[in-house]
Structure 1
């Protein structure tokens, strides 16, 4: 019976840190030009938590009380859509891993807090989109999808869509592996009753993530294949 592998996107399948940092700084330069944009050293700890963009901008804003999320976050998403693709790249083993999972008939999905359109665009640009059904790519902008770690994107949206691919009798109990790099991904896995594989190579806070004792820890994406085969290191 097939095991479902759910991947996070940022810091898991794709290295997007440069794109995120660059877009944050461009947003500050445009919307708050009288103030120097935040430094990379200030941005990195916030990105490592997997926090929503609004929380990140509020923490970086020199006057949090004057921060207008309804203005800043949509503009950030627009800037990211324009500038991110040149600074976004799949991790070296992404194609190998997705190809092997497809060859093994393992169902694969992506659940991200990033805009689903940005995820799809990055996969298409890297010629990886064929490995994942587009209706199993969930993120911001997909109707009904709430941010991880809210479990409803799994229970209410992903599972019904998945069963259309693998059969209505497929059950999730004990057969879901969540692969991600931040605290948010670990909490999400626990909320949906999945095993969790934490990617130490990603963007997450190492000390905080290890403290949550994920089921598995990997140092390179290709190590996921051993977990799916039941050969965890």
Structure 2
């Protein structure tokens, strides 16, 4: 357990707050099939979740040609949006956010989603206004670059050490390490435990209930 307390808790979105991993993996794979490109495995598709969309596509489907990118993005959005309205927060997440806010924590989001996508998701979840601030991949440099975390801390007048990053991918943990923030990894999202433990984390938890147990003792 860390001796310090954290003022700010920054959450990743997909696979951390919202159960969207399967929908993203399907959209990545179906889009490749639509274009006649090699279809990545589910493991390959899930590994790129959290990156900016263009970087994710290049890594998941490395043989894609430049001229195919616009159509791939179009097909990805088509497949993802078919599932988007049905996506839900992981069980226990809304209550956890309420408890953290009630304990005095500042809450933020750093996500690989686009601004339009996050705003739509916040509205669908009824979470508009729940977070002090949010950052998206298309607003700056995507994960694992530290830009999102550093920009959030700068806006809120905090040091990176006062922020705790919560994420389900090595991209989230790498961003936190580069920014100088501590992190907690969750294993119920996109990356398996054996990948997550390659990056430093204060804890690696298997459920929202376990996440709650570790977080509430670290808020000041």
Gaps of 5+ in 2: none
Shift of 1:205: 3.0
1:38 match: 39
Change (3 A) 1:224 1:79: same
Q: TM-score, normalised by structure 2?
A: 0.81
2:117 match: 118
Change (3 A) 1:141 1:54: closer
Shift of 1:77: 5.6
SS of aligned partner of 2:110: strand
Structure 1 residue 199 and structure 2 residue 186: aligned?
Answer: yes
Correspondences of 1:1-233 after superposition (within 5 Å): 3-30=7-34, 32=35, 35=36, 38=39, 42-50=41-49, 51-58=51-58, 61=61, 64=63, 66=65, 68=67, 70-72=69-71, 74-76=73-75, 78-79=77-78, 82-133=81-132, 136-142=133-139, 145-155=140-150, 157-163=151-157, 171-230=158-217
Q: TM-score, normalised by structure 1?
A: 0.77
CA RMSD of aligned residues (A): 2.9
Any conservation in 2 of the 1:5–1:179 contact (CA below 8 Å)?
yes
Shift of 1:60: 5.1
Any conservation in 2 of the 1:96–1:222 contact (CA below 8 Å)?
no
Distance in 1, matches of 2:37 and 2:6, equals: 51
Shift of 1:36: 7.6
Any conservation in 2 of the 1:49–1:183 contact (CA below 8 Å)?
no
Q: Deviations over 1:26-79 (max 9, x none)?
A: 42354x1xx38737xx13333235454445444554x81635464245425642
SS of aligned partner of 2:32: helix
Distance in 2, matches of 1:88 and 1:138, equals: 20
Distance in 1, matches of 2:102 and 2:78, equals: 37
Distance in 2, matches of 1:46 and 1:26, equals: 11
Shift of 1:190: 0.6
Larger Rg over CA atoms: 1
How many residues align structurally?
214
